[in-house]
């Protein structure tokens, strides 16, 4: 039986022998046939189409019609509006596919008050109207939609795909009716997205009352659709699934894959006899998920097409004898876009004015296309939406920007697990409810069930239309342990329970920067757990604080950031409202006021870290810290807890070389430097060094600062991002200094997400 490739050779040879002489003898009865290009699906393997297009351009063949499915619809749609093969090759090679094939946006686009709670859960589920709402797919397609919408901007004025420079059709599947659906009008980006909505990977697309999924499940090779539009000659490129032989069906994944694509493969086999020139790249070594191998997949497509180059050149010669072909014009990407109105669709709980205001876009203004995508990310960064997409429409001669919103459930529950050397195993829970009690508000409850527990109730109410100013009520309850070391040996340990009520006004100066001013009431309870000759059985303080805080966070992600800066600067004034002590040791020989009372004082805290990319895999890390408590004679009034590579308490100063809370300091200044390198996409190592000068509180000392304690610490960290969250294992060593600590290797293990 002849293969499609052999049929193509026979057809072209027949054309040259019998039809070319007719053209040369001056007969004008021949009409130039319409050439259709059919591009199949295949996910990452569909990138081979770009290699085929490169050879078609070299041979001088430009199709008159293009049809495509799934990845073939993306390549075909963009080619139809004017993107050339070399341009698409550059686009494919430059994409961060891990981000494109996710709903993840850069953390720098998330508003500051949401950053700490963004993408840090093991499991998440929505709740609305008494029902839990599971996700309808693994990926909503936020970044894919962003990319397709931006690339399809040149065609926003053209709604009939027949009017593209090259007429175009793509195919999706109606999941209700089980039939192929031809998409050849409307929004190009939406059509391409529907055609590639792989079930369980991407959420379905609702379009014109139909629920659409990837067309590759039913019609992965849309030859009929090209014929229906008048294609006389079909060049077909197949990159889809190929049935495995019986001896290969020896595992669950292969059987499942074959079962899912049986209908698609059968349909493709029925389409193939209608193809005149068939090209099938050798992609057996590649999987549907191998987007990171774009260069070699494109090369495979080019190799397969180049093997057909004699037939393509012969076809070109024959076509030229039948009439000149007018090259298609290219739709150009506009440098700026101006829209007379902004429309919002899909919103239920948030007003159009609120959404438009948060986007930062204004009607009548001009924006580069990238600025619109940034605005979309800004909306997603509010944590109120599962997805926001955009399209440009022509309404009565005016351009309208349409923001299509898919709101998150009004209440969202998140859970995670965590383990570290300090708190041991813990279960973490978060509940976030929008517009609870009052409009334009957020109610959040965070809790950590662990040895060192955490509880937070936070209520934020925006006060202005732009939602840049907010009133925040924050209540926290925490437990920590504070070891006291002498000569490198722990001889005391206290438990500290803190209850804090915080009322403040926050002004967001930009997406990444905010200024806060507020009042706090602190209740501190100390209880000794370990030690001989205990000073007391229980000590409690009530403090009243006035503070101002400046925060900035432009890190690109919460988990293993590679670029950006995070800093916090806080100035606080404290006034003691009283203390209570029980079980005071009579052998101390000092009255309790001299030990525990204190006059009003100030506290200054500063922490900063920066990641500077040196390459696609490596970043230079730098950090700095400073702290000052102007009440050095009172050990229990206020202090910093130095140690461990992560901030584990509200008083922490992270420091390589010391265990968690190893050093209690009332003054500190220091810096660190390091290098972080990803040797796999989700695996890294880092080398770190930090040094600092510290002053410990003196229970009976004078009110003066003396930064005489010095330590230099080193760290070597390995990390991997897993299904349960990030895992980090820093090995630390206190290299030099005069702090009371033994020079020995220390390990800090951290597993899972943090709230």
Catalytic annotation, residues: 70, 214
How many CB atoms sit inside 10 A of residue 598's CB? 19
Kind and range of the H or E run holding 294:
helix 294-307
Which of 568, 562, 593, 558 minimizes the C-alpha distance to 579? 593
Locus of tokens 């870290």: 609
In angstroms, rounded to a whole number, what is the distance separating the alpha carbons of residues 391 and 400? Answer: 8
What residues pair up with 503 in beta bridges, in sequence order? 473, 519
In angstroms, rounded to a whole number, what is the distance separating the alpha carbons of residues 115 and 451? Answer: 26
The first and second tokens of residue 248, run together, are 């290969």
Which of 159, 2, 168 minimizes the C-alpha distance to 78? 168
Q: Give DSSP secondary structure letters for 611-674.
A: EEESSSSEEEEEEEEEEEES-TT-TTT--EEE-BSS--STTEE-BTTS-TT-EEESEEEEEEEE
How far, rounded to the nearest angstrom, does the alpha carbon of residue 626 sit from its chain's CA centroid?
32
Question: Helix (H, G, I), strand (E, B), or coil: what is residue 501?
Answer: strand
Which of 386, 435, 385, 405 minimizes the C-alpha distance to 343? 405
Contact 426, 419 (CB under 8 A): yes
Angle between helix 188-195 and helix 142-151 axes, rounded to 10 deg? 140
In angstroms, rounded to a whole number, what is the distance separating the alpha carbons of residues 694 and 65? Answer: 74
How many CB atoms sit inside 10 A of residue 581's CB? 17
Question: Helix (H, G, I), strand (E, B), or coil: what is residue 257?
Answer: helix
Question: Which residues, at least 6 apart from 287, have a Cβ–Cβ distance to it below 8 Å?
Answer: 44, 45
The first and second tokens of residue 363, run together, are 């009607």
In angstroms, rounded to a whole number, what is the distance separating the alpha carbons of residues 498 and 244? Answer: 63
What residues pair up with 174 in beta bridges, in sequence order? 179, 212
Question: Which residues, at least 6 apart from 93, have a Cβ–Cβ distance to it below 8 Å?
Answer: 294, 295
In angstroms, rounded to a whole number, what is the distance separating the alpha carbons of residues 668 and 456? Answer: 28
Backbone angles phi, psi at 631, to 5 degrees: -145, 60
Locus of tokens 């590649």: 286
Q: Give DSSP secondary structure letters for 562-594.
A: -SEEEEEEEEEEEEEEEEEEES--GGG-S-HHH
In angstroms, rounded to a whole number, what is the distance separating the alpha carbons of residues 645 and 749? Answer: 10
In angstroms, rounded to a whole number, what is the distance separating the alpha carbons of residues 669 and 648? Answer: 19
Q: Give 639: exposed, middle or buried? Use CB within 10 Å, 0-12, 13-18, 19+.
A: buried
The first and second tokens of residue 619, run together, are 């970043």
In angstroms, rounded to a whole number, what is the distance separating the alpha carbons of residues 693 and 218? Answer: 68
CA distances, 485 to each of 628, 637, 659 (Å) = 21, 19, 11
Please tell me what DSSP assigns to residue 32: P
Contact 631, 598 (CB under 8 A): yes
Number of helices and strands (H, E) in the chain?
16, 35
Question: Helix (H, G, I), strand (E, B), or coil: what is residue 332?
Answer: coil
Backbone angles phi, psi at 361, to 5 degrees: -90, 150
3-state secondary structure 692-755: EEEECCCCCCCCCCCCCEEEEEEEEEEEEEECCEEEEEEEEEEEEECCCCCCCCEECCEEECCC
């Amino acid at each position: 039986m002849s293969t499609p490739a052999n049929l193509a050779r026979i057809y072209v040879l027949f054309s040259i022998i019998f039809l070319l002489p007719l053209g040369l003898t001056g007969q004008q009865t021949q009409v130039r046939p319409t050439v259709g290009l059919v591009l199949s699906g295949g996910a990452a393997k569909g990138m081979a189409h770009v290699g085929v297009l490169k050879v078609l351009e070299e041979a001088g063949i430009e199709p008159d019609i293009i049809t495509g499915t799934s990845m073939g619809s993306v390549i075909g749609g963009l080619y139809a509006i004017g993107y050339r093969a070399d341009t698409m090759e550059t686009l494919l090679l430059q994409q961060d596919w891990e981000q494109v094939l996710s709903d993840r946006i850069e953390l720098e686009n998330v508003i500051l008050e949401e950053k700490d709670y963004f993408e840090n859960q093991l499991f998440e589920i929505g709740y609305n109207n008494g029902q839990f709402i599971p996700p309808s797919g693994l990926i909503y397609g936020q970044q894919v939609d962003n990319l397709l919408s931006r690339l399809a901007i040149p065609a926003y004025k053209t709604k009939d795909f027949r009017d593209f420079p090259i007429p175009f059709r793509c195919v999706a599947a109606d999941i209700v009716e089980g039939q192929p659906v031809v998409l050849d009008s409307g929004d190009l980006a939406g059509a391409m997205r529907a055609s590639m909505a792989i079930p369980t990977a991407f959420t379905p697309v609702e379009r014109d009352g139909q629920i659409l999924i990837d067309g590759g499940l039913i019609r992965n090779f849309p030859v009929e659709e090209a014929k229906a539009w008048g294609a006389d000659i079909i060049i077909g490129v197949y990159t889809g699934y190929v049935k495995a032989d019986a001896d290969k069906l020896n595992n669950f994944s292969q059987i499942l894959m074959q079962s899912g694509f049986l209908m698609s493969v059968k349909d493709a086999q029925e389409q193939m006899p209608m193809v005149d020139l068939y090209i099938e790249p050798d992609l057996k070594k590649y999987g549907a998920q191998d987007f990171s191998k774009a260069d070699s997949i494109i090369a495979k497509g080019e190799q397969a097409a180049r093997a057909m180059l004699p037939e393509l050149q012969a076809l070109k010669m024959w076509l030229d004898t039948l009439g000149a072909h007018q090259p298609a014009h290219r739709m150009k990407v506009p440098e700026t876009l101006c829209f007379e109105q902004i429309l919002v669709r899909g919103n239920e709980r948030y007003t159009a004015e609120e959404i438009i205001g948060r986007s930062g876009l204004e009607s009548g203004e001009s924006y580069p296309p990238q600025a619109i995508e940034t605005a979309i990310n800004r909306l997603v960064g509010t944590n109120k939406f599962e997805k926001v997409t955009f399209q440009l429409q022509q309404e009565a001669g005016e351009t309208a920007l349409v923001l299509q919103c898919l709101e998150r459930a009004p209440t969202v529950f998140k859970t995670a697990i965590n383990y570290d050397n300090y708190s041991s195993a813990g279960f973490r829970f978060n509940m976030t409810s929008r517009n609870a009690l009052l409009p334009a508000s957020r109610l959040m409850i965070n809790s950590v069930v662990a040895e060192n527990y955490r509880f937070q109730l936070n209520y934020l109410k925006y006060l202005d239309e732009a939602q840049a100013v907010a009133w925040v009520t924050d209540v926290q309850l925490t437990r920590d342990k504070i070891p006291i070391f002498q000569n490198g040996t722990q001889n005391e340990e206290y438990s500290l329970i803190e209850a804090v009520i915080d009322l403040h006004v926050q002004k967001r100066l930009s997406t990444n920067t905010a200024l806060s001013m507020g009042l706090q009431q602190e209740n501190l309870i100390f209880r000794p757990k370990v030690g001989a000759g205990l000073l007391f059985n229980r000590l409690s303080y009530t403090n009243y604080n006035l503070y101002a805080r400046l925060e900035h966070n432009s890190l690109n992600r919460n988990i293993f950031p590679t670029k950006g800066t995070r800093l916090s600067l806080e100035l606080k004034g404290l006034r003691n409202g009283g203390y209570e002590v029980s079980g005071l040791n009579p052998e101390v020989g000092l009255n309790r006021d001299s030990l525990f009372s204190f006059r009003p004082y100030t506290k200054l805290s500063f922490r900063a870290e920066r990641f500077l990319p040196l390459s696609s895999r490596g970043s230079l890390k730098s950090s700095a810290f400073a702290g000052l408590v102007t009440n050095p004679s009172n050990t229990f009034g206020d202090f910093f807890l130095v140690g461990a590579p992560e901030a584990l308490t509200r008083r922490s100063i992270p420091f390589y070389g010391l265990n968690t809370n190893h050093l209690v300091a009332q003054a500190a200044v220091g810096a660190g430097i390091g290098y972080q390198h990803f040797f796999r996409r989700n695996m890294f190592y880092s080398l770190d060094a930090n040094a600092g000068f510290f002053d410990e509180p003196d229970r009976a000392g004078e009110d003066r600062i003396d930064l005489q304690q010095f330590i230099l610490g080193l760290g070597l960290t390995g990390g991997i991002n897993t299904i349960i969250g990030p895992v980090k294992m820093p090995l630390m060593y206190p290299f030099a200094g005069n702090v009371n600590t033994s020079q020995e290797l220390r390990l800090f293990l951290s597993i899972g997400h943090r709230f």
